[in-house]
Structures are given as structure tokens and as C-alpha cells.
Amino acid sequence: MNVRTTIGIVVLGAGLVLAGRSVMAHHAFGAEFDPNAPIRLQGKVVRIEWVNPHTWIHVETVKDGKPEVWMVEGGTPNTLLRRGITKDTVAVGTELIIDGYQTKDHSLKRANGRDVTFLDGRKLFMGSSGTGAPKDGRDPTEVPRKPPGQ
Amino acid sequence: MDVKRNLVTGSIAAVAIAAFGVTTVAGQRPAAPPAGIAKPWVMPRTGDGKPDLQGIWTNATLTPLERPQGQPNLVLTDAQAAAMENATAERRERLSQASDPNRPAPPQGGDGSTGAAGNVGGYNNFWLDPGERVAVIDGQKRSSLIIDPPDGRIPPITAEARARNQERMKARAGTGQYDHPEYRPLAERCLLSFGPTTPLVPNYFYNNNLQIVQTPDHVMILMEMVHDARIVRIGGKHVPPHIRPWMGDSIGHWEGDTLVVETTHFPLQQPFRGAAENLKVTERFRRVDANTINYRFTVEDPTTFAKPFTGEIPFNATNELIYEYACHEGNYALANVLSGARNEEKRKGTQK
Amino acid sequence: MIERRVLRDITVGLATAAIVAAAFLAAPPATSQAARPARTPDGKPNLNGIWQALNTANYDLRSHGAKAALAFRPGPVVPVPAAAVIAFGAVGAVPGGVGVVEGDDIPYLPEAAAKQKKNQEGWLDSDPEIKCYLPGVPRANYLPFPFQILQSEKAIFFSYEYAGAVRNIFLKDPGPAPVDSWMGQSVGKWEGDTLVVTVTGLNDQTWFDRAGNHHSDQLKVTERYTPQGPDHLWYEATIEDAKTFSRPWKIRMPLYRHINPDARLNQFKCVEFVEELMYGKFRKTPVQ
């Protein structure tokens, strides 16, 4: 099954072109991670750093019988916070499966969270607002989404 | 659909009313509304009688800055717009499906992903929030944010600019893009975001939100990334020529019900398509209904662009909040990039 | 009874003095800020302006004498400035200060008191201000940099010159902050002519000053801003953090408005300034 969960968002049907500087200029995935060092991790969440520019999920795996903690890079937390996610949403101890690539600095146990899922394969977070309603608030017949906490 | 058509008609009516430039504190007196339309919208005003631009707005949109090849018209047909919007929705749905729990590690040598994903697959789509709708200005669904030149593309750069760029490249010849933090993009260094910031073009990734606070002598525009607050001095004068703050220096004035902001004094390290020293950005903010500010920007630099160019972006009201984007404080990535380059050089024996 | 001649001489003398005094105390230059109303259209005190604290709280919240440096090493007679700061000489010295803590005492729990001492001894490695990290609340208000308050009928926003820190003051409580942040979540309301701001959702990464005074992520700060005339605010901040302190405690200080007609925030995006400090070791060829 094709599990291409990449962020090549720029290439949509209508030929979306990015504004300003090139895409590579921000997201230095290719600059930070090594395509020759693929990894697959399965382990328990020990800590989540809900920080910008990238969330970091600390996962404890077991290698050769010994515990090993990896840091997995995610995206900006702000997008998820607007969807109602909080620092308590993912409990310590939650088991995850992660595939990705290690940093070019092989002395670090860090990798990009190319695909972060629960043990049954479900994505860690959902990509839609849930209602399917557009987010730009233009349509006055659309019920405005309540900010979290209200 | 009736609601949509009424919305469009109502918007046009509101624009027409706004164009009269009525500025009395008491507000405008709208013409009697045609049957079937709700009470016409009245421009909200601050205590000093100016249009109220305040609130939290999003400039997220699917419409790109420049007109894509093969799309000659500024205005999309409904079918074209729907195709773009459906494609985005379908993509998001598809990428939300569960993965194979028995999936192996991704391929050795990279997974072939292009663009930002950098052959390592980036991260899950749920982190992204690029926008779900095409830009609508005055009832028109737009194929590009740029409206002038008419082909919707940034004009060619001047020979002078080409020479400048070549000089810059020559100066960097023989160096590697990971040699020093100063060689990395501004966004990776957490100095600014990955859009130009001025003008307020969306970044097509996420956090395309801004907050506007308005007082009689200042307008503050906060972009979510990187918690950059631009304070526009209404009726102010520009700073001395040697003062070049990040995001430039902004002064503003009102022309009728339109806020006009002029920004110059960009620092040389913040080029917009190569323009910095002589870059001037003029922005016009005009509130057109309860949920929309029409934002128009003009970029000029005769030493860089053959002619000025102008774009329009709708800012849409949102009930969502802006959260702190403290970038530098959590910037593991920059350290990873630099230490990764050094580590790789050692491994490959290429350090000098 | 005073002789008329003496009385006349005294009168002339006083008049002369008054004229001379008036020449020295000439009116300040005309300023658009002279037209600054005391209240916004909705009747609230007008806090718009550029403000700055004028004290040494950022060095040490408690009263303190002057010191040779912010970091020391053992010397033959007395401790001397650490090697990393000695080149600054008197520029790197610490001025004395009156202290801004009510009662001049920060009521640490025993473990937290020890941590404060350790912070202070390891200041060079640990003060987040050195790395240009966002300063948190209340430290942002008494850094040696101005900040601008923008106040409309709908919004109150603080923009700090230091590191471009910002605080949007919610006038309607959005509920608990979903994650912790450097500048926290500020909710404001008016009590008469005092703006009361409650700050929660602060992370544990910031310090109160350069003396290592610290807190946990349980910190809650309650601020009070009360105008005292057009150019002064009286600022109080009550600190509550049961993980660190045995009871709440309070700091208080005046905030002064910049009244010169050209007053504006400059920019201090110090992230760029600390790149050599933080990333210099990763350069392809280190700086000599």
C-alpha cells in the first residue's frame, strides 16, 4: 500500500507556485536528515516538546534489549492547537510507530517523523478540521468554529 | 445557489458604498436594500471615526502569488476553482488514511519525495494548513494574487539586478551552503518567517494568521510567524537612511476609508526576489464586509524590477486564535543542519 | 515692619529669579503627544505609549550593592570577574539597586533557594537572557529596553523592543492555555482605573533577573497597571508558584513614558547577535 505521506504540497493540479523564496529555503528536511539512514521506530512517548519551529516527540524504543530514546521531528504545534489539541492530548506512554530518516549528524538519535502513527496505523493526528468546513470564514452561512476552551 | 449569489451581490453593494468614501463618525447611510437581501453591511468604525480593521485575519489561500503557466485569465471559472479546492480536500482526506502498521523503514537512498520534503518525506500532512479556498476579491475567484502586470507574473529583473546577483554568487564561489549559520535562510535561523513578511503574502504552509490592533496614531500588524509585530506610525516620517530594521520601516495614512502603508528601509539581508536597498512596498487595506479586508500591495524597486507589480489578497476573519511562535527558543533544526554537515564531512573525509 | 525699599528689592529679586528660572525651564518641544487624551473613547485610562522601567530590577529583584561583574572566579584576595567577562571592565560591572520586592525577600522553598544560588553561580551558562530567549513575564517589563502599549477599545497589545517579544492581552478569557509558552497567556480586565492582567501558561524556562531568581511552570503572575498622571504607570506584579515559593510575593515599580516627540521602538532582534555564541562551534572553519 502506498503510504506517501509527504509534504510535496506545492504540486497540486493547478500548478501551485510558492510565493517569495523557494520552498527549500524554509523546510530544510533535505538539509537536516540523511536519505541514506532510514529508520523505523516503535516505542513509547516519554515527552513531547510542543515548540516551534518544530514539535519534538521523544520516544523510548528498545534496541538490543536496552532502552534508547529518539527525538522525532514534527511540525508547528500551532496548527494542531487551533484544532483543539493540547499538551495533554497524547499521554506519556502512548505507543507509536515512526518511519523516517536519521539526522545527518549520526551522533544524534534524531529523525524526521515522516509518518507517525499509532500501533494500528492510524495517523497520530487528523489532517482535517473534522467538519470539512472551510477555514477562511468567508461564507456567513458557515457556523464559525469555536476556539478551543469555549 | 441563492445564498452565494446574494453574498456576491451584497459584497458588491458593500464595495460600492465604501467607494463613496463617507467618513462621518456616524457611519454611512446605505441605499435602500433590494428585496431579498439582508440589511446592508455598515463599516464598523473606531472611536476616531476610522474604519475598524481590528481582529484576527487569515490570508491563507490556494491561489498562488504568480499566475501558473497555461492559465491566461486572472479570473477562474467556478469549475476551475472547484477543481482546485476539491483536489486539496481530496488530498487531505487521502493523507489522513491509516498507514500500514507493518510498514518497514523507508527506502535506503531516500523516498523520492520532491520539493520541501527533500527526498526524506518531510512529515505528516496533518501538520500543514495551507488554505482550502481560492482567493476571492470583489466576487472574482482569482488565479493569481498578482493582478498587474496583466500576465500575473513578477516582471523580469533589470540588468543591474542580474549583475548584482552574479557578484553575490561570485563572492560565494567555493563555499558550501552549510558552512556558516549566516549562509542559511532567514527562516531556518529564526530571524523571519518564510514569506516576505512585507508584503503580507501567505506562505502556503501554515500559520497564515495576523492580528491587527489600531489606535489613532499607530496600526500594529502581528504576523503569527515569527511573532513579528510591525508597528505602522500613522502620519509618521521615515527613520534615517542608515536605520534598516528587519521588515523595513512602515508609515501610514488614511485615504478616505483605505489605510495606505508605505514601507522602505529594508535591510540588505532581507531581499525580496533580490530587492532590498531600494525596495518600496505600498499596501492598501480596505475593509469590504464583516469578514473581509481587501489587501492590495505594490512592490517597486527600479534597480531590481523592470516595472512595479501589484497583487491583491483577501484577509478573511477567523474566530481562531494566534499562538506564540517562539522560533529561536526551540530551534534544534539549525543546530542539526550545521552539525549534520560537519558530521557528514568527517564521515566522507571531505572536511578541509 | 519691612522697609518699602527692601520690599521692592526683594520683589525685583524674586521677579528676576523667576524670569531666569523660566528661561532654564523652557517649555518642552511641541509634540503630538501633548494632545494625548487621558482616556480612550470608551472611558478607560489611556495606556498608549512607549514605556520603560528605570531601575536595576533586571540585575537583581532584591536590594543589592554594586559588584565587579555578573560572573566570578576565585581570586587571590577576593573573587575576580570570570575570564569570559573580564575584558568588559567597568562596563560589565553590576550597579547597586534599591530592590523592587515588597519586604525585600523572595520566599523560596529550601530546594528552590539552593537552585537560585546555583543559577547565580552558573549565570554565564544558564541565564536565558544571554541567548536572547524570550524574557517571560514580568521580566519583559523591567528589561533595559522600552516597550509599546497599543490600546484600542477592542484590544490591548504589548510590543517589546527586546527580541520582538509580544503579548496580546485577551479581553475575553479564552480558557486554559493548551500548551505552555515563553510569554504566557495574558487575560486583562479593568478594575476602575487599574488594568489587571492575569498571566498563566508560562513555561519554566525564564528567569526573573540576572541573579538567577527562577520559577516553575506553575507560575501565575497577576499584574496591575495604574496610571499616575499622563506619563507614569504604577506597576505591581504578584508572583504565585507553590512549587517554588512558600507564599505569594509582590514586586512594584513605576514605569515611565518616553515623552520625546520622536519616541519610537527601535528593533533589537538579538537572535542574530547570538549566532556566533550558539552556533560558532558548528562553523566549517571556526572563527579565530
Structure-block grid coordinates of residue B154? 513578477
| pLDDT at A10 (0 to 100) | 33
Indicate whether C4 pLDDT > 80: no
Nearest residue on chain B to C177, alpha-carbon basis: B323
Within 8 A by CB and 6+ apart from A146, the residues are B319
Which among A16, A53, A107 has the least Cβ separation from residue B62? A16
Indicate whether C218 pLDDT > 50: yes
Distance CA B134, CA B137 (A): 10
Rounded to the nearest angstrom, the gap between the alpha carbon of residue A130 and the centroid of all alpha carbons in its chain is: 18
| pLDDT at C36 (0 to 100) | 81
**Which residue bears the cell 479586508?**
B293
Structure-block grid coordinates of residue A71? 527525538
Nearest residue on chain C to B233, alpha-carbon basis: C264
Q: Whole-model pTM?
A: 0.87
Indicate whether C9 pLDDT > 70: no
In sequence order, what are the beta bridge partners of A103? A33
- Please provide the average confidence, as pLDDT, over all residues in chain A: 77
Contact A50 C180 (CB under 8 A): yes
The minimum CA-CA distance between A92 and chain B, rounded to whole Å, is: 20
Lowest mean pLDDT among B166-175, B320-329, C149-158, C205-214: B166-175
| pLDDT at C6 (0 to 100) | 62
C-alpha distance from residue C250 to each of B65, C101, C107, C196, C262 (Å): 52, 6, 11, 14, 34
Distance CA B103, CA A38 (A): 12
| pLDDT at A41 (0 to 100) | 97
Structure-block grid coordinates of residue C25? 525651564
Phi-psi category of residue B248: left, alpha or beta, with phi > 0 → left and psi -120 to 50 → alpha: left
Question: Environment class of residue C8 by beta-carbon count within 10 Å: exposed (0-12), middle (13-18) or buried (19+)?
Answer: exposed
| pLDDT at B274 (0 to 100) | 86
C-alpha distance from residue B289 to each of A140, B1, B322 (Å): 11, 20, 22
Q: Of B134, B254, B253, B270, which is closest to residue B198 (Cα–Cα)? A: B270
Residue of A32, A47, A50, A104 to mutate, testing the C interface (most C Cβ within 10 Å of its Cβ): A50
| pLDDT at B179 (0 to 100) | 97
Contact A87 C176 (CB under 8 A): no
Contact C168 B334 (CB under 8 A): no
Contact A25 B107 (CB under 8 A): no
Which among C32, C182, C284 has the least Cβ separation from residue B329? C182
C-chain CB neighbours of A105 within 8 Å are none
Contact B181 C285 (CB under 8 A): no
| pLDDT at B31 (0 to 100) | 54
Contact A72, B77 (CB under 8 A): no
Structure-block grid coordinates of residue B241? 537612511
Which among B106, B111, B341 has the least Cβ separation from residue A104? B341
pLDDT higher for C5 or B181?
B181
| pLDDT at C3 (0 to 100) | 62
Rounded to the nearest angstrom, the gap between the alpha carbon of residue A64 and the centroid of all alpha carbons in its chain is: 27
pLDDT higher for B28 or A88?
A88
Question: Environment class of residue C113 by beta-carbon count within 10 Å: exposed (0-12), middle (13-18) or buried (19+)?
Answer: middle
Contact B178 C284 (CB under 8 A): yes
Query: What 3-state DSSP class applies to B299?
Result: strand
Query: How many interchain CB pairs under 8 A, A with C?
Result: 22
| pLDDT at B18 (0 to 100) | 40
Q: Of B53, B43, B40, B54, which is closest to residue B21 (Cα–Cα)? A: B43
Structure-block grid coordinates of residue B287? 475593509
Which pLDDT band holds residue A117 (cuts at 50, 70, 90)?
very high
C-alpha distance from residue B2 to each of A143, B8, C1, C113, C209 (Å): 18, 10, 98, 69, 61
Residues 44 through 103 of chain B touching chain A, CB cutoff 8 Å: 58, 60-62, 64-66, 68-71, 80, 83-85, 87-89, 91-93, 95-101, 103
| pLDDT at C214 (0 to 100) | 98
Indicate whether A80 pLDDT > 80: yes
DSSP string, B160-210: HHHHHHHHHHHHHTT--TTSSGGGS-TTTTTSS-SS-SSS----SSS--EE
Count of beta carbons in the 10 Å neighbourhood of residue B108: 11
- Identify the structural domains of chain A with CATH numbers, from first to last: 29-125 (2.40.50.140)
Instruction: State the ipTM, two decimals.
Output: 0.88
Asked if C40 reaches chain B (Cβ–Cβ under 8 Å), the answer is yes
Q: What is the residue-level pLDDT of chain B in tens, covering all 352 positions?
A: 344 444 444 444 444 444 443 333 334 444 555 666 678 899 999 999 999 999 999 999 999 999 999 999 999 999 999 999 999 999 999 999 999 999 999 999 999 999 889 999 999 999 999 999 999 999 999 999 999 999 999 999 999 999 998 998 999 999 999 999 999 999 999 999 987 889 999 999 999 999 999 999 999 999 999 998 999 999 999 999 999 999 999 999 999 999 999 999 999 999 888 899 999 999 999 999 999 999 999 999 999 999 999 999 999 999 999 999 999 999 999 999 999 999 999 999 876 5
Contact C182 B352 (CB under 8 A): no
Alpha helices per DSSP H over chain B: 2-19, 78-96, 159-172, 332-348
Contact C130, C273 (CB under 8 A): no
Within 8 A by CB and 6+ apart from C139, the residues are C58, C129, C206, C207, C208, C209
Contact B88 A12 (CB under 8 A): yes
List chains adjacent to chain A, taking adjacency as at least 3 C-beta pairs closer than 8 Å. B, C
Q: What is the pLDDT of residues A20-68, one digit of tens each?
A: 333 334 557 999 999 999 999 999 999 999 999 999 999 999 999 999 9
